Amino acid sequence: MKKTTILRKAIMERRAVVVPGCHDALSARVIEKCGFEAIQVSGFGLAGSLLAKPDVGLVQMKDVLDLTWNIVQAVNIPVMADVDTGGGNAINAAWITERVITMGAAGMNIEDQVFPKRCGHMAGKEVIPAEEMVGKIKACAKVRDRLDPDFIINARTDVFAVAGLDEAIRRCNLYLEAGADLAFIDGIKSRADIERAVKEIKGPLSVNLMDAITGVKTQLIPIPELAKMGVGRVSIPVASIMVMHKALMDFFTALKNSPSGILPGETGWITPFEEFTTFVGLKDYRKLEEEYLPKEKLECKYK
């Protein structure tokens, strides 16, 4: 079964399929190894890992596409791209859609913010007119229908913070009518808001979840309860980059503060070398060498 078909089936079952965010190919493979069904490329994570900058529209679209390609190739489960505002107007967005479909992504997020955009849980967001976003979605949907009808277009609106829930629901329905498959109200706050949105939006709803310490504004609700409500997808968008940041800060702070300058015996900080090289496939490449390289070359190489 195609990855696009797998993702579409999971979302349309409205069982709150959990789609964690990754910031690079390694974090994507970790998420896959831990048993999740699908992965979301995190725009916040790409900005933080690639540039060590905030998610305020600084990452170039070429870099987004290149990094997304790396992630798609690294895993065997569906990957949803994050194309922010689509790279420009409806024409740009259609071209970007073609790129992410042909690279093997199973879906994508596209949002109605003004460019340069910013993380959905930051202050200072601005949105484009709904009619302009409708045009973008129609253009993207036409590409989807031509190349892979199962590809998921997740239409994100950031209008909740600007104009409230009524306008967010109105926009979601406009976007679904224009051809989106999934609607995403970023920054939606309460259980009551989510329950109302699920009932009034004419298609599956996506929500973000993280503990409030991360700055995500949406109420933390157990996944089984979101599934019972009929939520289509749950994104956990910024976990990988924040876990990575804390782990690096904790380790290098401990190393710097160690009187000896080393951490002898404190192996709990790290993955053993052989375990890590196995995880990233070193043994597989060794097998390829044995299969394809001349015997005398291998004998000289490994003695």
Give residue limits of the domains in the chain: 3-244, 271-303
pLDDT of 115 above 90: no
Span 3-244 CATH architecture: Alpha-Beta Barrel (3.20)
How far apart CA 276 and CA 273 sit, in angstroms, is 5
CB neighbour list of residue 116: distance below 8 Å, 6 or more residues apart:
56, 57, 58
The average confidence (pLDDT) of the chain is 94
Instruction: Of 44-48, 151-155, 299-303, give the lowest mean pLDDT range.
Output: 299-303
Q: Is pLDDT above 70 for 60?
A: yes
- The amino acid that residue 121 corresponds to is H
CA distance 226 to 232: 9
pLDDT surpassing 80 at residue 212:
no
Q: What confidence score (pLDDT) does residue 227 get?
A: 97
Mean pLDDT of all residues in 79-95 = 97
Residue 213 reports pLDDT greater than 60: no
Q: Which two tokens mark 303?
A: 């003695």
* pLDDT tops 80 at residue 87: yes
Mean pLDDT, residues 292-301: 91
Q: How far is CA 226 from CA 211, 229, 234, 269, in A?
A: 15, 5, 8, 35
Average pLDDT over residues 285-302: 92
Token representation of residue 35: 């048993």
Q: What is the pTM of this model?
A: 0.93
